[in-house]
Amino acid sequence: MKDLIKALTEAYGPPGYEQAVREIIREQISTVADSVEIDPLGNLHAVKKGAGEGLKIMLAAHMDEIGLMVSYVSDKGFARFTKLGAVWPDTLIGNRALFTNGALGVINVENWPRHDGVDHSHKSLYLDFGATGKADIPVRVGDVAAFQRPFVDLGQVMVAKSLDDRIGCAILVETLKQLDQTPHELHFVFTVQEEVGTRGAMTAAYKVHPDVSIAIDVTDSGDVPERKHFEVKLGAGPAIKVMDSGMLAHPGLKNWMVETAQANDIPYQMEILTLGSTDAQAMQLAREGSAAGALSIPCRHIHTPSEMVSTNDVENAVKLLLALLKSPANLGD
């Protein structure tokens, strides 16, 4: 599974440019799904038909990663940019931005080095391509970049630039590969443009019209210095979402996930996230709505070029999804 995670996280895929990620996933699932298709927006949609009278369940993980778009090119050969998704300025200085044409830009801030405590906003950052002027700069306004960082396997943890949410994609691929039977009609959807507004999940859920919707994504980790009042931590199991800033999880779905984890001795945590949301927000509100929730992977350093997750949490997420999808749904009244 780590080979797949490496391939997915190192692939280029900012919002709207998820093609390379999609092709890796399609190659992995084409022989294990009953059908695979790409919708007009770019979502990859795989169906696994059930053997019983279960529910229609949509599982979603987004393929895109945060990125940058060139907004201005100066006569001296430097470029300004705007962000695609929640890109934090103080994580960018010294990082490298890779463009679709292979161009590589180094990110820095005006008047570097700065020791005056001034906030490094996006407006003070620029891209340096080593160009001598506007004539030989290798990008133009509207060109899109993702960050360049390799996947690193540290054994108990993995570090990469786009574990948000390629780790969710890998979990769904592995779940689909291992799932031998289910009473449900399952729709595994690898979505586009989540980082700029859960757009792919919105259109996909409208098409699928699911009874139950589950997003597989990352969440914050509360076990780093000075991070207070957040219970989720790395290595303690996947987190079952209770709420985030965009949605309240369906109580019956949440309880079904908890009871399944307990019955199968799978470690889990409960997640209440006050900042941020997932594709579950869009799936919950599609058409007349669905019973929606999320299974989250604790992640340190979210939305930086070096995100970190626990290998055990990933493996236990697959185990929990398999146990859940093989059993009849229990959503309560």
Q: Could you state, in order of their start, the residue ranges of all structural domains in the chain?
A: 2-65+161-325, 68-147
Beta strands in 132-179 (DSSP E): 144-147, 152-153, 157-160
Architecture field, domain 68-147 = Beta Barrel (2.40)
Cis status, amide bond into 165, omega within 30 of 0 = yes
Q: What is the pLDDT of residues 294-333, one digit of tens each?
A: 999 999 999 998 999 999 999 999 999 999 999 999 888 6
Per-residue pLDDT tens digits for 98-154: 999 999 999 998 877 665 655 567 788 999 999 999 999 999 999 999 998 899 999
- Which CA distances in Å does 41 have to 19, 58, 62, 98, 170? 11, 17, 13, 23, 21
- Scan for tokens 């919707």, then name that residue: 213
Common-topology check for domains 2-65+161-325 and 68-147 = no
Q: What CATH architecture applies to the domain 2-65+161-325? A: 3-Layer(aba) Sandwich (3.40)
Catalytic residue check, 194? yes
CB 324 within 8 A of CB 266: no
Q: What is the pLDDT of residue 228?
A: 77
**Which of 65, 194, 271, 307 is flagged as catalytic?**
194
Residue 91: phi and psi, rounded to 5, are -100, 0
Query: How confident is the model over 193-215, as pLDDT tens digits?
Result: 999 999 999 999 999 999 999 99
Please state the pTM of the whole predicted model: 0.94
The pLDDT-based confidence of 53 (bands split at 50, 70, 90) is confident
Helix, strand, coil in percent for the chain, rounding step 5: 25, 30, 45
Q: pLDDT tens digit string along 23-32?
A: 999 999 999 9
How far apart are alpha carbons 258 and 252 in whole angstroms? 10
CA distance 107 to 148: 12
From CA 59, how far away is CA 44, in angstroms rounded? 12
Rounded to the nearest angstrom, the gap between the alpha carbon of residue 154 and the centroid of all alpha carbons in its chain is: 21
